[in-house]
Structure 1
Amino acid sequence: MNHVKLFVGSEVLTLAVKDILEQNNIEFIERNDVKSSLAVGIGTADKAVHIFVDPKDLEYAKHLLEKNDIHE
């Protein structure tokens, strides 16, 4: 299944995004570049966490983030 990017942001803000998605039964995939970089010992200045959702859920998920005033 091909997922599309919904959100990229800090680890802290991503916690709110994941909570909103979970409360609305929207499945997602998280790619945490911070933890991945630290695991291999290179660190990262970007400190980005990416959230991907199924294309069928994208518009509704965007609406939920806007409704909760969450922006990248």
Structure 2
Amino acid sequence: MDHVQVYSGSEVSALAVKNALENNKIEFIERDDINSGIVSGFGTLGKATNIFVLANDAEKAKEIISSLNL
């Protein structure tokens, strides 16, 4: 199964994205680069949280995220 990144941003905004996707029954994978970097002993710059969905849910997920006006 192919996954597509639909969001990259702050951890706080990611909460709203995850809630919206859950409310619309869209499964997602979250990757938190900052926490992963801390555990591994290195940091990261830029966007902290990335959200991925299945490719066939990507368009709907992007529409939902866009409507959140983050």
TM-score between both structures, scaled by the size of structure 1: 0.87
Which deviations, in whole Å up to 9, do the C-alpha atoms of 1:36-60 show, x marking residues without a partner? 0010121222242110001111111
Alignment of 1:46-57 (within 5 A): 46-57=46-57
Secondary structure of residue in 1 paired with 2:37: helix
Is the CA contact 2:3–2:53 (under 8 Å) kept in the aligned structure 1? yes
Which deviations, in whole Å up to 9, do the C-alpha atoms of 1:4-50 show, x marking residues without a partner? 11010011111111010011110001111011001012122224211
- State the match for 1:43 in structure 2: 43
Give the whole-Å Cα distance in 2 for the aligned partners of 1:47 and 1:8.
6
- State the match for 2:63 in structure 1: 63
Aligned length: 70
TM-score between both structures, scaled by the size of structure 2: 0.90
Alpha carbons of structure 1 residues 26 and 34: separation in structure 2 relative to 1, 3 Å: same
Unaligned runs of 5+ in 2: none
- State the match for 1:15 in structure 2: 15
Identity fraction in percent: 49
- State the match for 2:34 in structure 1: 34
Where do 4+ consecutive residues of structure 1 move more than 6 Å? none
- Give me the CA root mean square deviation: 1.1
